[in-house]
Chains A and B, each alone.
Chain A
Amino acid sequence: MKEIGAPLLDVEHLTMRFGGLVAVNDVSFQARRREVTALVGPNGAGKSTVLNCLTGFYRPPVGRMQLHSGRSTPFLLERMETFHIAREAGVIRTFRNPRLFAGMSVLENLIVAQQADLMRGSGLSPVSLIALPHYRRAARRAVDRARYWLDRFDLAHVADRAAGGLSYALQRRLEIARAMCARPRLLCLDEPAAGLNTAEILQLKRMLAALRGEDDLSILLLAQNMSIVSSVADHVVVLDRGVAIEDGTPEQIRASSAVTRAYISVPPGADIVTSMDIAC
């Protein structure tokens, strides 16, 4: 089940309404194992709503979201609690505005992400009040894992500083490192490039490219434009006003006129006179 390209996430007919507003309308797509799947669309297209449904923050009234983990039955995400989706199904997300534990140190942020392991390793907390050896081992493993990801994301020099005091770019990186510490099967990044400058975006692209080689990790990348997507994504789904309008490789998307229409708001049927590169 670990081969590249086997289906990992199946989203079928996902619909989410807020009162009269249909934020996501009958969206279906597939994310495949060890690939980077990108959800692209302009502001308000429904990308974040899809992500919130996937991670259990919203309860979609219609639709099925199956995560194939290699067990005999897939996880049905629409029926699971938020923390179960993260802990059992391994769908870990970041947020468009980083949500760090601001008053805790960078290291502690990464340790909290391994809470489930630590609790299990400590045989539940009350027993470990007197520092039993197996709790110490679990704690050491957690710090080692944190250390590994601090090094990978070039954060080791700020490990003991408060997370809230880091620069914006470092906070973004820390949030991804924290998500990696939670051992995701599917890592969902909500507009990781938002608010970063050109150099920082280049760095982010390098890190994402490096993550692709990670063992059994698949990525769902939400982005407003194609610039970051085209170099890292294997597969792109374009959303516009809650509807999936395109689905294909980055090259196919670049060649499609529907995407350009979505970005420059041309009504269907009208001629496009602008350059295709607006969206790309």
Chain B
Amino acid sequence: MAAALRLIKSRALIDAAGAACIAALLAIPLLGLRLNETGRDAGLTYHLPWIAYAALAVFFARLGLSYLRPWTFAAPAASRLTGYAPSARLLHGSINLLAILFALGLPWFSFADDNFIDRATLILIYVMLATGLNIVVRRAGLLDLGYAAFFAIGAYADALLSQRFSLSFWECLPISGLLAAGFGLAIASPVIRARGEYLAIATLAFGEMVQTVLVNWIPITGGAKGIAAIPRPSFFALSGATRMNEVDLFYYLILAMVLLASAFVWRIGRLPLGRAWDALREDEIACRSLGLDTMAIKLSAFALGAGLAGFAGCVFAARQGLVSPGNFTFAQTAMVLTIVMLGMKNQLGISLSTIAIIGIPEWFPALTAYRMIAIGIVLVLAMVWRPDGVSTRRAPTMRLMRRVARPTVETEAQ
């Protein structure tokens, strides 16, 4: 027993020492050397203590993690399936209901001025984006690193159609979504056969291609300056009738879209298509051996995610009044991916993680500088504690036992 403990300790020490060496090597160029530019002469200064600090910090952090290891775990397959405890479902349902009521009543709170509502609108746009990526990444298990491209396609579709063809926002909205979904289908069909990291690279390349086109096709996209003066949607008589201002109405528009998308995703998760996504993520080969058309199933998830990003992009363009390629870089994809990873695979979790990642820096601009550090730390912790996601639990979409008790009730568990 004591010997085993010693062994663990020594292995933890060796492990931590190794990590510290890597940290020291990385710290030499990152922290140890600094470029001084004073006037015309530039020179390097050496900050050797910083290398030691970095190595020591990593050493102790790694050592700490080794001792925490017994409490970390990847959920075994069996525990990923939650039960159907009615009390838990009631709790979950009422929390969801409260969240929806809060979102609906938000413009009436006294602290919610136009500025506040405008930021809430931005958060909801990201919730929409994350909802789409959630389908692709968490349901179907496809890693899409070019997701911001579909966001861009939706946004530029709205910008270009409204400016060049003077279509209204309401006409642009469906076109943006369908166009993005169409692009999703078009780029996914040749690369969807690739698995895992190959698909990730292909989508990453697509994202960069769209970025390059946006920057360089100056006559159409306006290059790096982007397109300005995109009209906001007109709400016709609605704003007069309800005596609400345009900001609130716009907020309700995106809220309605998010709720609709959530309901859609929730429902489709209980239909054969949603179950097929889950099965695909679990075992693709078994799916094929049972006669599931895995290509079509993957494409449906990919196109649906792209379509939701297209809708989000259209609303984003209308909110900003300005789109430029800088809004649709890989960093944007990474941000949405982080939201999805932290979101607990359900809509509420996604909303909360969006508030944490997008909202907090919006309201506390001083924290913006630390956003990436915070995201990095949170992701490392998530990897350590739950390598398969903060929560990948799912409730079964059908249930036999209820049927046994009451043979005539519907087969679908609500």
Which residues of A come within 8 Å of B, CB atoms? 55-57, 82-84, 86-87, 92-93, 95, 99-105, 107-108, 111-113, 115-116, 118-119, 122, 125, 128-129, 131, 135-136, 139-140, 142-143, 146-147, 150, 156, 159-165, 178-179, 182
Contacts and interface: CB of A to CB of B under 8 A. Distances in A.
9 contacts: A102-B80, A107-B400, A112-B276, A125-B273, A129-B271, A146-B400, A160-B400, A162-B78, A182-B290
Contacts of A118: 272
A125 B182 CA distance: 19
Contacts of A125: 268, 271-273
Contacts, number: 152
B282 A159 contact: no
Contact of B268 (A112, A129, A142): A129
A125 B303 CA distance: 15
B271 A111 contact: no
A164 B410 CA distance: 27
A160 B293 CA distance: 26
B275 A136 contact: no
Contacts of B105: none
Given A119-B272, A128-B271, A160-B84, A108 B78 contact: no
Given A103-B80, A104-B275, A136-B411, 11 more contacts: A83-B287, A101-B278, A101-B286, A104-B279, A104-B396, A108-B275, A112-B287, A113-B290, A139-B411, A162-B81, A165-B78
Given A111-B398, A112-B276, A55 B289 contact: yes
Interface in B362-414: 392, 394, 396-401, 403, 410-412
B394 A103 contact: yes
Chain B, interface residues (CB within 8 Å), range: 35 or more
Contacts of A143: 398, 400, 403, 411
Most B CB contacts (10 A, CB to CB) among A55, A119, A150 go to A119
Contacts of A103: 77, 80-81, 278, 282, 392, 394
User: Which DSSP category, helix, strand, loop or mixed, fits chain A's interface?
Assistant: helix
Interface in B63-94: 76-81, 84
Nearest to A150: B400
B37 interface: no
A163 B288 CA distance: 18
3 nearest A-B pairs in the assembled complex, by CB-CB distance = A165-B78, A164-B77, A87-B291
A259 to B, nearest CB: 30
Contacts of B272: 115, 118-119, 122, 125
Contacts of A57: 285, 288-289
Contacts of B27: none
Given A122-B272, A125-B268, A161-B81, A83 B399 contact: no
Contacts of A131: 412
A159 B79 CA distance: 15
B284 to A, nearest CB: 10
Contacts of A160: 84, 396, 399-401
A100 B77 CA distance: 11
A113 B283 CA distance: 13
A125 B77 CA distance: 27
B9 interface: no
Contacts of A146: 400
A143 B399 CA distance: 9
Contact of A156 (B273, B398, B399, B400): B400
B290 A115 contact: yes
A44 B278 CA distance: 34
A203 B283 CA distance: 27
B267 A86 contact: no
Most B CB contacts (10 A, CB to CB) among A103, A107, A116, A161 go to A103
A110 B76 CA distance: 21
Nearest to B271: A125
B329 interface: no
Given A128-B271, A156-B400, A86 B290 contact: yes
Interface string B283-326: 10111111111100000000000000000000000000000000
Contact of A164 (B78, B287, B401): B78
A107 B291 contact: no
Contacts of B165: none
Contact of A161 (B78, B293, B397, B412): B78
Contact of B283 (A101, A135, A139, A165): A101
B264 interface: yes
B401 A159 contact: yes
Nearest to B402: A160
Contacts of B271: 122, 125, 128-129, 135
A146 B394 CA distance: 21
B229 to A, nearest CB: 37
A190 B191 CA distance: 32
